[in-house]
Chain A
Amino acid sequence: MNEIGLTHILVISTLLFFIGVYGFLTRRNMIIMLMAIELILNSVNINFVAFNKYIYSGKLDGLFFTLFITAIAAAEAAVAIAIIINLYRNYKSIDINDADSMKY
């Protein structure tokens, strides 16, 4: 157990995933919720890279998936931030509790 193995990395990525889920569900600032989603996506990236390095070193599927996830996360964040800016113009707030004109 002196060198860092697959288990260590998986523990980190799982922790990161659940920190992301917790942050998404508890934080009320939309930008921070977006950051929580990025945490989730990065934990997925760590998973893919770790599986590729330790178990399937001959394959490239995991590495390619990571590249695409990074690119798409950037696109998603761009659209989400544009939407949040437009919401700010209408509501003068980026707190999710203020955006409550529709309920039940």
Chain B
Amino acid sequence: MSTDFFILMKSELSLVLIIFLLLFIKVWDGIKSNTTLLHLTNVLLLLHFLFGFFINSQGELFNGMFYTNDATALEKNILNFGTLIISLQSFDWLKTHKHLLEFYILLLSALLGMFYMLSSGNFLLFYLGLELASIPLAALVNFDLEKRKSAEAAMKMILSSAFASGIMLFGISILYGTTGSLSFSELPKLITGETLQLFSLIFIFSGFAFKLSAAPFHFWTADVYEGAPVSVTSFLSVISKAAIVFVFISVLSPLFIVAQSVWYMILLLTIVLTISVGNLFAIRQNNIKRFLAFSSIAQVGYILLGLSSGNTAGSTASVYFLIVYIFSNLGAFGVISLVASQTEKENIEDYKGFYQTNPMLSWIIAISLFSLAGIPPTAGFFGKMFLVTAGAGKGNYLLIGFAALNMVISLYYYLKVVKTIFIDKNENPLPEIKGSLSLKLGLLLCVAGIILTGFISMLYQYINTIFTF
């Protein structure tokens, strides 16, 4: 029992260890140099990421409250890797910041919450993980204490996420009343599909959609993404979204097994709304963070399209797409973070003539945007292709046609940004920007990921074997 505890909970325990270590360094106040601290944290995160590949085993703890298997181990590794890249990319922003350690403590607490959420076998632990993942994030959004926008974004985030979890809890309480159980393994057998249960499931789905920022629950997304510091925005748009999608696959889809037609109808509406709202609003944005916020809403629509198939192909395609999405989005956000930390400029117009002064950074952001749009040599194309193929398994070709049409629209606004960077002339473009080695490493990892994940078919096959039970 005792060794089981340490082996099954190893990712969580090692993360807690890092959090406490950073807390002690903060209290001890012995290391004055920010650069040393950043390198130390990055090394710790790298070790934590590598540790995720060893001594994996399957099993459950606390009467099924907490479980691990190959799928959760893979999902945790993906989240760890994304956090490591974000940490590398925030180097330039954090090296002069005086609250550096608080940033990492809050960030890693949120990651810990996501880990518990992924491994939860019961609605109670799931709720605790969800709150642990969202409360520190609200504090992180307010990290630029003296900026007006940051405060406003944090207020919008905490109020709407508390409201969303309230709605989800009401659904959970009714589900408990009608079935008498909170455990994910027992619930699918107890759900009979009566009206009150469907009602509660729709409440739970709304809570999920809020956290996923799927339309019509997306209103907080753009404001929070714009107001938060860039590193926090990239964490919100990539890691926290990926965690919710993983839970969506393992928890929410099995609950709806008895009510397939209702479930497909709900998903259909959400997909159509999400994709069109994301695309149409992305066209008219001037702020580049807001632009990426709406583009990420549209991407969630495609992920839901893959998940709507409800089979192994759908889950595999979603997880694969999320890996690609982490690389592409972080590539774009890495460059934006560097530019914002040195020039404080965030509007798309400021990027006019960016290619004249910073050709390397321009190429990185262009490759990332190509991958987000799904242009063939990049991995984004394969990710979208698998998602749409999985979605087509349901035989609803109208929906597939609609999604394909929207991909063309999305091409328009992604290429508009690329055109601004490469073709538009500007008398005084942004100055040449020099990033640190750590940031360059983060960007290199992203570009390598965008190009390579598309060609390594082993990855897709590995995910596929994990999700085939």
Residues of A within 8 A of B (CB): 17, 20, 24, 30, 33-34, 37, 40-41, 43-44, 47-48, 51, 55-56, 59, 61-62, 64-65, 68-69, 72, 75-76, 79-80, 82-84, 86-87, 89-91, 96, 99, 101-102, 104
Contacts and interface: CB of A to CB of B under 8 A. Distances in A.
Interface in B148-185: 148-149, 151-155, 158-159, 162-163, 166-167, 169-170, 172-174, 176-177, 180-182
Nearest to B157: A83
B127 interface: yes
B158 A61 contact: no
B155 A83 contact: yes
B147, B155, B166, most chain A CB atoms within 10 A: B166
Given A79-B138, A79-B158, A44 B170 contact: yes
A37 B159 contact: yes
Contact of B158 (A43, A68, A83, A99): A83
A-B complex: 4 closest residue pairs judged by Cβ atoms: A40-B166, A47-B173, A51-B177, A87-B151
Contacts of B423: none
A41 B124 contact: no
B124, B142, B151, B281, most chain A CB atoms within 10 A: B151
Interface of A is mostly: helix
A51 B176 CA distance: 8
A76 B151 contact: no
9 contacts: A24-B159, A24-B163, A48-B176, A51-B176, A61-B181, A62-B173, A76-B158, A83-B151, A83-B155
Contacts of A40: 163, 166-167, 169-170
A86 B174 contact: no
Nearest to B287: A102
Contacts of B166: 20, 37, 40-41, 44
A102 to B, nearest CB: 5
B454 interface: no
Contacts of A84: 155
Given A68-B128, A76-B162, A91-B148, A83 B138 contact: yes
Contacts of B174: 47
Contacts of B127: 65, 68-69, 72
Contacts of B222: 102, 104
B124 A80 contact: no
Given A75-B131, A79-B139, A104-B281, 17 more contacts: A24-B159, A37-B162, A40-B163, A41-B166, A41-B169, A62-B173, A65-B173, A68-B124, A75-B135, A79-B158, A80-B138, A83-B142, A83-B158, A86-B145, A86-B154, A90-B152, A102-B222
How big is the B interface, by class?
35 or more
B92 interface: no
B142, B145, B146, B170, most chain A CB atoms within 10 A: B170
A77 B227 CA distance: 21
B226 interface: yes
B159 A62 contact: no
A64 B62 CA distance: 15
A69 B138 CA distance: 18
Interface string B239-270: 00000000000000000000000000000000
Contacts of A48: 173, 176
Contacts of B139: 79, 82-83
A68 B131 CA distance: 11
B223 interface: yes
Contacts of B177: 47, 51, 55
B159 A102 contact: no
A34 B160 CA distance: 10
A69 B169 contact: yes
A101 to B, nearest CB: 6
